[in-house]
Amino acid sequence: MLEHLIPVLAGTLGAATPLIFAGLGELVAERTGVINLGVEGMMLIGAIAGFAAAADSGGGALAGLPAGAVAGMLAALVFAVLSLSMAANQAACGLALTIFGVGLSAFIGQHYVSFSLPGLQPLDIPGLVDIPVLGRILFHQDPVTYLGLITFAIVWWVLRKTRLGLVLKAVGEAPDAAHAIGYPVIAIRYGATLFGGAMAGIAGAYLSTVYTPLWVQNMVAGRGWIAIALVVFATWNPTRLLLGAWLFGGVTILQFHAQGLGIALPVQFLAALPYLATVVVLVLISRDKRLLQLNLPASLGKPWMP
Amino acid sequence: MPLLEPRPTPSARMRLLSPLIAITLTLAVGSLLFLALGKNPVEAFTVFFVQPLSSGNGWSELMVKAGPLILIAQGLAIGFRARIYNIGAEGQLIVGALAGGGVAIALDGVDAWWVLPLMVVAGAIGGALWGAVPALLKTRFNAEETLTTLMLTYIASFTLSYMVNGPWRDPEGMNFPQSIMFGDPALFSPWFEGMRVNAAILIAAVASVAFWIFTSRSFLAYQLTVGGLAPAAARYAGFSAQRTVWVSLVLSGLTAGIAGVGEVAGPVGQLNLNISPGYGFAAIIVAYLGRLNAVGIVLAGLLMALLYLGGEAAQVALQLPAAITGLFQGMLLFFLLGADVFVDYRLKPRPKPAYA
């Protein structure tokens, strides 16, 4: 049993990585009051930009991840101009961004259908990797997975311990008050939205250049939407988001190890599990209206103009 | 210094102009895209928008594609008016197709006139039930319908994949993931020799008239709209928010389910993994482009159908990837949302210099 469980748990961390990046980005944006439903689109744009950069430059994931971040940010900029500067409906703009991202990535992706990339070798953390069992699970991962955990730590620290974090949260809770004491509400929301775009772009590029290093149309496969659901599940708390991402990573990876673990269910059922789990988790968290109201950034989704 | 200021009252003229502006901008950016790809824009637009309509078969194909788009968008528009964002019509279409297709497979060999109507009813029920799930989750557990409807779409497509790979796979289908081809009693028969247009377009037409009457005449539709525009006013007037959710999601699921039967009993003729080229998502754009108005949706549906046809033609004539249709759809929705800002806002006149 244990020899089957180690790859499952190790794989869970990798499968959780795109959810951690995309989820953290969306969490920060939502903390400032911006709900961007375009995560799926930004991830797809990041995925194809990252793949194209990696394939065309020959630089692999090292070229792909920054390219994904920039592309995700550009996509978020379009959303920001419409929904922040022009005060258009955020839900509709995010949906438009996703539809646009699906189309754009498929369009550009046609040139890359038969390409494949080398991917990234796992990076062993010296010393720690030799710990029995745990070492192979935690310290034998690709570098981006470590980077995801570092990003989590930074976001947690900024939101919890710094003045910047306070300002971000103030803008989300009470934009009028933040404006009155002189903070540039729109500029701060732009910053958070672009950060969200960069994170989603990295998440997408991770999928296309590291996780499964080849281009498949619509390869993000709903992970962007799951990331949005995770932010709700986490009640806008980064630590709970991390736990949620691991939980979903585990559910995602299950289908590849079902046979080894002795689970005899149709493959489609296992593939549908993460989506089913998302619904269940949303229901569990949303049924407690008070819990949600208490944590929901007060200005979430409401256009604001000075 | 903000460039925009709110209008005293929303501009009705801008509401009607906005889709035209969005279409114009999409065409303009499209021309630049064609130029960048080394194609002559005039030739490209001829291929895209003129050639498909230069033959009888082209018009027939336009109807085949416009039918499901219009039907689904009419249902969605009811919910969108009430600010209930069902973005999972694609899943409701799939479940409708599964229900209708299941009837066709179970009754294979039965030669009776009622097979097809039974399929339509089954599809309507299937789609409505798939829409009722997020309605239940929203009213009972407060779960966001945007996320649940979309997650249910993925679950529906895996269910479809399971059925055509497993219980309903055609035993003589060389292991392809597809069901048997439906018999004639389970198919809408084409109106003209060699063309695919069939009576399914009539369902979309009847639905359009019904929705026009519903939205312009019924008290229930009025309640839904008030609930969307001014939730507090609706509560004060005693309109039920729960009923709004149920009506919106079940109705849009129902129309999407019927559209699904229209596909499997029409152009597709069986259950397989390609029963919809994203109609459920494109219908969202159709609903907004048509201003959530029954007549507008018919026009927008025809335009979107033309975009699909143009994409197919461009693939053949210009060697452009068919995904260009999706790109145009996304651009169109972006420009529409941008232009819509000017319904409620206008450009601020630049302040006059203060010197005398």
Condensed to tens digits (0 to 9), the pLDDT of residues A170-209 reads: 999 999 999 999 999 999 999 999 999 999 999 999 999 9
Cα-based distances in Å from A176 to A30, A236, B348, B352 = 17, 21, 22, 28
Q: Considering only CB atoms, which chain B residues are within 8 Å of A222?
A: 150-151, 154
DSSP states of chain A as a string?
A: -HHHHHHHHHHHHHHHHHHHHHHHHHHHHHHTT---TTHHHHHHHHHHHHHHHHHHHS-THHHHHHHHHHHHHHHHHHHHIIIIIS---HHHHHHHHHHHHHHHHHHHHGGGTT-B------EE-TTGGGSTTHHHHHSEE-HHHHHHHHHHHHHHHHHHHSHHHHHHHHHHH-HHHHHHTT--HHHHHHHHHHHHHHHHHHHHHHIIIIIS-B--TTTTTTHHHHHHHHHHHTTT-HHHHHHHHHHHHHHHHHHHHTTTTT----HHHHHHHHHHHHHHHHHHHHT-HHHHHHHS-TTTT-----
Q: Does pLDDT of A145 surpass 80? A: yes
pLDDT at B355 over 70: no
Instruction: Write out the H or E segment, with its range, that includes residue B326.
Output: helix B324-344
Q: Is B6 helix (H, G, I), strand (E, B) or coil?
A: strand
Contact B143 A86 (CB under 8 A): no
- Cβ(B323)–Cβ(A101) under 8 Å? no
Instruction: Give me the domain span that covers residue A63.
Output: 2-295
Residue contact B161–A268, C-beta within 8 A: yes
Let me know if residue A7 belongs to a domain.
Answer: yes
Under an 8 A CB cutoff, do B151 and A78 touch?
no
Checking if the pLDDT of A260 tops 90, the result is no
The complex scores an ipTM of 0.90
Q: What is the mean predicted confidence (pLDDT) over A207-231?
A: 93
As given in the structure block, the two tokens for residue B187 are 């198919």
For A160, B125, B237, the CA distances from A177, given in Å and listed in that order, are 20, 50, 33
Phi, psi of B2 (to 5 degrees): -65, 145
Residues of A within 8 A of B147 (CB-CB) are 225, 228-229, 232, 278-279, 282
Average pLDDT over residues B260-270: 95
Q: What secondary structure letter does DSSP report for B116?
A: H
Cα–Cα distance between B257 and A254 in angstroms, integer?
32
Binary contact (A89, B321; C-beta < 8 A): no
Task: State how far the Cα of B158 lies from the Cα of A271, in Å rounded to an integer.
Answer: 7
Q: Could you report the per-residue pLDDT of B165-190, keeping only the tens digit for each? A: 989 999 888 888 999 999 999 999 88
B137 to A283: CB separation less than 8 angstroms, yes or no: yes
Q: How confident is the model at residue A32 (pLDDT cuts 50, 70, 90)?
A: very high
B319–chain A Cβ distance below 8 A for any pair: no
Whether residue A3 has pLDDT greater than 80: no
Band (pLDDT 50/70/90 cuts) for residue B298 is: very high
Q: Does B21 touch chain A (CB under 8 A)?
A: no
CB contact at 8 A, A85 and B337: no
Reply yes or no on whether the pLDDT at B210 is more than 90: yes
Chain segment B21-60, per-residue pLDDT in tens: 999 999 899 889 889 988 888 888 888 888 889 888 899 9
Query: Do residue B338 and residue A222 have CB atoms under 8 angstroms apart?
Result: no
Task: List, as one string, the DSSP characters of B151-174.
Answer: HHHHHHHHHHHHHHHTTT--TTST
* Contact check, Cβ <8 Å, B143/A286: yes
Q: Is B148 on the interface with A (CB under 8 A)?
A: yes
The C-alpha angle with vertex A163 and arms to A161 and A168, in degrees rounded to 5, equals: 100
Residues of chain B neighbouring A91 (CB-CB closer than 8 A): 85, 146
User: pLDDT exceeding 90 applies to what percent of chain A?
Assistant: 66
- Average of per-residue pLDDT values in chain B: 90
Which pLDDT tens digit goes with each residue over A275-286? 999 999 999 989
To test the contact with chain A by mutation, choose from B341, B343, B345, B346 the residue with the greatest count of A C-beta atoms within 10 A, namely B341
Please name the member of B158, B329, B337 whose beta carbon is closest to the beta carbon of A272: B158
A302 lies in some domain: no
Q: Spelled out in words, what is the top-level CATH class assigned to the domain B22-343?
A: mainly alpha
List the structure tokens of B211.
């929705």
Q: Is the pLDDT of residue B354 over 80?
A: no
Contacts of B152 in chain A (CB under 8 A): 275, 279
Contact of B113 with B188, CB cutoff 8 Å = no
> Taking all residues of chain A, what is their mean pLDDT, rounded to a whole number?
91
**Domains in chain B: boundaries:** 22-343
Which of A91, A276, A306 lies closest to B2 in CB terms?
A: A306
Tell if the CB–CB gap between B154 and A272 is shorter than 8 Å.
Answer: yes
- Say if B273 is an interface residue toward chain A (CB within 8 Å): no
Nearest CA in chain B to A106: B323
Q: Please state the rounded mean pLDDT for residues A109-137.
A: 83
The 8-class DSSP code of residue B346 comes to E
User: A107: which 2 tokens?
Assistant: 């369009």
The nearest CA of chain A is from the CA of B169 a distance in Å of: 14
B259: number of Cβ within 10 Å:
34
Determine the Cα angle at A200 with ends B2 and A247, to 5°. Answer: 130
State the CB neighbour count (10 A cutoff) for residue A257.
Answer: 17
Q: Residue A261: what pLDDT?
A: 74
Cβ of residue B167 closer than 8 Å to a chain A Cβ: no
Q: Specify the CATH number for the domain of residue A105.
A: 1.10.3470
Minimal CA–CA distance to B286: which of B19, B94, B88?
B19
Instruction: Give the integer Cα–Cα distance in Å for A245 and A18.
Output: 9
Q: How far is A121 from chain B (nearest CA, A)?
A: 32
**pLDDT bucket at A118, cuts 50 / 70 / 90:** confident
The nearest CA of chain B is from the CA of A131 a distance in Å of: 39
- The backbone torsions φ and ψ at residue A141, rounded to the nearest 5 degrees and listed phi first, read -120, 165
Eight-state DSSP code of residue B322: T
For the four alpha carbons of B50, B52, B54 and B56, in that order, the dihedral sign comes to negative
Report the C-alpha gap between A189 and A171 in whole angstroms. Answer: 8
Total structural domains in chain A?
1
Residue in this structure with the two tokens 């009025």, named with its chain if needed: B222
Interface with A, mutate which of B85, B86, B90, B146 (most A CBs under 10 A): B146
Cβ contacts (< 8 Å) between B159 and chain A: which residues? Answer: 268, 272
What are the chain A neighbours of B166 within 8 Å (beta carbons)? 266
Contact A103 B161 (CB under 8 A): no
Q: How many beta-carbon pairs below 8 A join chains A and B?
A: 139
For residue A268, list chain B residues with Cβ-Cβ distance below 8 A.
Answer: 158-159, 161-162, 165
Q: What is the mean pLDDT of residues A220-225?
A: 94
Say yes or no: B281 contacts chain A, CB-CB below 8 A.
yes
Q: Which two tokens stand for residue B140?
A: 């009972």
Q: pLDDT for A85-104, tens place per residue? A: 988 889 889 999 999 999 99
Q: Tell me what the mean pLDDT of segment B98-114 comes to.
A: 94
